[in-house]
A and B are shown apart, each in its own frame.
Chain A
Amino acid sequence: MSAAPGRSQASSHRSPQGEAPVSAALLDVENLCTSFFTEDGEVRSVDGVSLRLERGEVLGLVGESGSGKSVMGLSLMGLIDSPGKIVAGSIRLDGEELVGAPEHAMRRLRGPRLGMIFQDPLMSLNPVLRIETTLIETLMAHEFIDSATAHRRALAALTDVGIPSPAQRMRGYPHEMSGGMRQRVAIAAALLPGPQLLIADEPTTALDVTIQSQILHLLQNLVAARGLALIMISHDLSVVASLADRVAVMYAGRIVESGPVQQILSRPAHPYTRGLIHSAPVMSEPGTPLPQIRGAPPSPLGRPAGCAFAPRCDRASSSCMSMPALTDLHIGHAVRCWHPHLEARLPGVAA
């Protein structure tokens, strides 16, 4: 696993007074809050999340269902529809503020600057449209090009993602392809307009295990070749581990731990992260009882006042009745816990 090449080329720009260059992250999210206003009350799916992403960096966003990670991805894209709404915080893409931006402005960004792929490619690709239509419409939505050029670029895109006999596949329909190929097509369509940031929401969950690694490999190559920044959303730490530079763990709408992937895997500080790693079946010794985190995540309507994980945590104490802040343990490694683990994990980590 290598560090993303883009990282060392963190871009900079001169501040107006011509002083020393200020390094600007590609994506800067500050205290983002997204809520859904339902008949049963307000559901705060994303509750004060901050993160930064550099160009060419891969961030793994890990959490269970209900943690708010998918809503996070949709919020970044501006695709939260009523009854949902971004209620607070800021999202800055290359300095440009996205929260509160009008829809037509967001549409100009989606595609050329921001892209997203979803979990089930059978559902993401319109079943009644040919592959070429899906690809070409993506190009035509943003540029004035003739259909011949568009066709050529679409063909090239299919080749880039490793689709065999692309010319034939262009005329076909999604249901004629396997799951892995469909996801490749989706990736090709999302990357056609050349975005700097791609958000992948559980891209491998719906696929077979062998295909999963193929897609991850493809993503890895694309990141390296294009300097693409990638946010990889998943519930599976192992999937994220092979690809990410940094990992952020979400629980009940908040980030509970974040840091470089090796750090997180070898010295997980938050009890939840530790529980996640240990409960992955591949991590256990055969024959030993499978460790699990007892209890279940809180319902988004009835979150406890203090640390949301406390009811399930062995290390909980009375201080956990109040919400801990995200504090740095080491450089770049932050954790939201009153009683973080400071010792290393047991060896036997799969890279």
Chain B
Amino acid sequence: MTEFIVRRLLQAALVVAVMSLLVFTGVYAIGDPVELLINPEADQATRDMVASQLGLDQPLWRQYTLFVANALQGDLGRSFVFNIPAIELILQRMPATLELAALATLIALVLGVPLGLYAGMRPYSPVSHTIMTGSILGFSLPTFWVGLLLILVFAVWLGWLPAFGRGKTASVFGVEWSVLTLDGLRHIVLPAANLALFKLALIIRLTQAGAREAALQDYVRFARARGIAPSRVLFVHILRNLMIPIVTVAGIEFGGVVAFAVVTESIFNWPGMGKLIIDSINLLDRPVIVAYLVVIVFFFVLINLLVDLLYTLLDPRVRLSGGSR
């Protein structure tokens, strides 16, 4: 088992290293950050001074090695714009994004699994057809537009919920959580719903397909042939088998939700990592961009690893054949 984990961690490190190189090299090619930070009428001397302060006058490879050396010590550069360590900036914003993503995933699962189950068990009913067509609508709706629509309806026309920002937060374990305050909840509802929509549609479809297939399986027939109650057939036999792919997909997709939060955060002005990266791209704050991408890559790789481990826990067939094999 440990061999498995170690091997995966090494693979992860390799991926992170490769990605960081790609990202660094690529980002280097963006315009000139110096231009953005100083008075356009400044003379060359001032520019040179700023450039050397930011380390931009060094050749590329030099900059990269410096970057790696620092990175291994936990320093991913300083933001050109805010002048604080990039990693600090990102970690400041991370809880907000994670909270949003977690809530969105929860909504998607809690609503999606029952709807998908129903549609899978009764495939010919009109309700099921509605659910399935609705799910196509769900993943056709562009997230950003739904966000606008939500703001329009709930904030502008009905005035029930606020459109922007995070609201009040409560501090637990030194981290700010907004779901723990009523005001925070009011603020998080719309963006979380917006982010959840796409996932919801996918989970409905996944669950439906799985349930439909499971219902045709011999073990379901055998259970019915022994007179097992339909509720038990559904929840123990079908759902138990379904949960494996659903949970693994939800887990892997969590990374996608975090990434897609970029859009939702921009619209709802949610102070998370996503908004940070968009702003950084527009402001050419290179260290932040690079740091963000490195963190995200790391995050992804970690999620994949965790999901793999989770899978071995859930499926006895995999577990007993040994993850280390």
Contact = CB atoms under 8 A, between A and B. Distances in A.
Interface string B218-232: 110111111111101
Contacts of A109: 227
Interface in A110-142: 110-112, 114-120, 123-129, 137-138, 141-142
Contact of B241 (A79, A128, A173): A128
B247 to A, nearest CB: 13
Contact of B224 (A79, A82, A120, A193): A79
A176 interface: yes
Contact of B228 (A79, A82, A123, A137): A137
B225 A110 contact: yes
A107 interface: yes
Nearest to B240: A128
A46 interface: no
Contacts of B232: 137, 141
A77 interface: yes
Contact of A190 (B217, B219, B225): B225
Contacts of B236: 129, 137
Contacts of B317: 127-128, 173, 175
A189 interface: yes
A141 B225 CA distance: 12
Contacts of A123: 217-219
Contacts of B223: 126, 137
Nearest to A73: B225
Given A127-B241, A128-B241, A129-B236, A110 B316 contact: no
B72 interface: no
Which of A110, A115, A190 has its CB near the most chain B CB atoms (within 10 A)?
Answer: A110
A108 interface: yes
A186 interface: yes
Interface in B280-325: 315-317, 320
A114 to B, nearest CB: 8
Query: Is chain B's binding surface mostly helix, strand, loop or mixed?
Result: helix
Contacts, number: 87
| Size class of the A contact interface (CB-based, 8 Å) | 35 or more
A193 B226 contact: yes
A137 B232 CA distance: 9
A312 to B, nearest CB: 32
Contacts of A128: 240-241, 244, 315-317
A141 B231 CA distance: 11
A126 B219 contact: yes
A189 B230 CA distance: 18
A109 B225 CA distance: 9
B222 A108 contact: no
Contacts of A141: 226-229, 232
A192 B228 CA distance: 13
Given A175-B317, A176-B320, A125 B222 contact: yes
A116 B225 contact: yes
A268 B183 CA distance: 85
A116 B224 CA distance: 10
B93 interface: no
Given A82-B124, A120-B218, A125-B219, A189 B226 contact: yes
Nearest to A110: B227
B168 interface: no
Interface string B197-231: 00000000000000000000111011111111110
B228 A118 contact: no
Nearest to B317: A175
Interface in A290-312: none
Contact of B226 (A110, A119, A120, A176): A110
5 contacts: A110-B225, A115-B226, A116-B225, A126-B219, A141-B232
Given A107-B227, A142-B227, 16 more contacts: A77-B225, A107-B224, A111-B226, A116-B222, A117-B225, A118-B222, A120-B218, A124-B218, A124-B219, A125-B222, A127-B219, A128-B317, A141-B228, A173-B320, A189-B222, A190-B222
Interchain residue pairs A-B with the least CB separation, the first 3? A111-B227, A123-B218, A110-B227
